[in-house]
């Protein structure tokens, strides 16, 4: 499994939400071998340590094999702090399910504050066309931050 396909630091370790930091200070999720303007990777940023805001969201009802239906998704932008002047750091991810056993996901709106929450399996490996061993299937969903 390639490193770039995984959000986690490795088996047995607590999963981190791994973004890459590059020379010059830019941060990207997912990590790339080369950063903006050809800069080299110099470190790792754990996005669990950052809150985010919803840029946009959708509820998809026509989902592929092995994906929950409906599937609520959002693009979120992380708050990287006043000292950060690189490109926006964003992620696309599923909206988390409520913890009331209803099976429904949280409602979100543009500008809502959210936080990442880890899920062991985001979709069923092998149900779709992609080779199950080619990538990881765990990752981070987003849930609203309680004000």
Partner 1 sequence: MERVAIIGASMTRFGQRDAWVNELLAEAGEAALDDAGIGGGDLDHLYVSNMASGEFEGQTGVPNALAHDLGAMPAYTARIDQTSSSGGAGVYAAWQSIASGASDCTMLVGGEKMTHRTTAEATDVIASLTHPVEYKHGVTLPSFAGLTARLYLDEYDAPRESLGKVAVKNHRNGVDNPHAQFQKEVDLDTVLESPVVADPLRLYDFCPITDGSAALVFCPESVAAEYVPEDEYAVVSGIGGATDTHVVHERADPTTMGGVADSSDIAYEMAGIGPDDVDVAELHDMFTILEFLQSEDLGFFEKGEGWKAVEAGVTDRDGELPINTSGGLKSKGHPLGASGVAQVYEIYEQVTGNAGPRQVEADTGLACNVGGFGNCVTTTILEGTQ
Q: How far is the CB of 26 from partner 1 (least distance, A)?
A: 11
Segment interacting with partner 1 (CB under 8 A) among 8-16, 44-52, 100-108, 137-145: 137-145
For tokens 């200070």, name the residue: 25
Residues 10-49: x where in contact with partner 1 by CB under 8 A, - otherwise, as a string? ------------------xxx-------------------
Q: How far apart are the first and last CA of the chain?
A: 39
- What does DSSP assign to residue 3? G
- Which residue, 59 or 145, is less far from partner 1 as judged by CB? 59
Total of chain residues touching partner 1, rule CB under 8 A: 44
Segment interacting with partner 1 (CB under 8 A) among 8-16, 42-50, 96-104, 130-138: 130-138
Which tokens sit at 2? 């390639």
Q: How far apart are the C-alpha atoms of 80 and 77, rounded to whole Å? A: 9
Per-residue b or e along 126-145, where b marks 16 or more CB atoms closer than 10 Å to that residue's CB: eeeeeeeeeebbebbbbbbe
Maximum alpha-carbon separation in the chain:
47
Q: How far is the CB of 57 from partner 1 (least distance, A)?
A: 7
- Which residue, 2 or 11, is less far from partner 1 as judged by CB? 2
| 65 is a site residue for partner 1 (CB under 8 A) | yes
- Which residue, 4 or 98, is less far from partner 1 as judged by CB? 4
Segment interacting with partner 1 (CB under 8 A) among 8-16, 43-51, 72-80, 100-108: 72-80
The answer to whether 118 and 47 have CB atoms below 8 angstroms apart is: no
The answer to whether 108 and 94 have CB atoms below 8 angstroms apart is: no
């Amino acid at each position: 499994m390639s490193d770039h396909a995984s959000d986690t630091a490795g088996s047995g370790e607590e999963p981190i939400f791994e973004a890459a930091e590059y020379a010059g200070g830019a941060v990207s999720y997912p990590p790339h071998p080369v950063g903006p303007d050809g800069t080299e990777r110099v470190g790792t940023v754990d996005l669990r340590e950052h809150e985010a805001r919803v840029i946009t969201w959708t509820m998809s009802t026509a989902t592929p094999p092995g994906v929950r239906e409906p599937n609520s998704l959002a693009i979120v932008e992380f708050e990287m702090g006043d000292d950060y002047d690189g490109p926006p750091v964003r992620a696309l991810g599923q909206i988390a399910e409520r913890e009331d056993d209803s099976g429904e996901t949280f409602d979100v709106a543009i500008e809502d504050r959210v936080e990442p929450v880890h899920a062991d399996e985001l979709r069923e490996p092998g149900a779709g066309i992609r080779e199950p061993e080619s990538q990881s299937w765990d990752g981070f969903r987003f849930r609203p931050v309680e004000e």
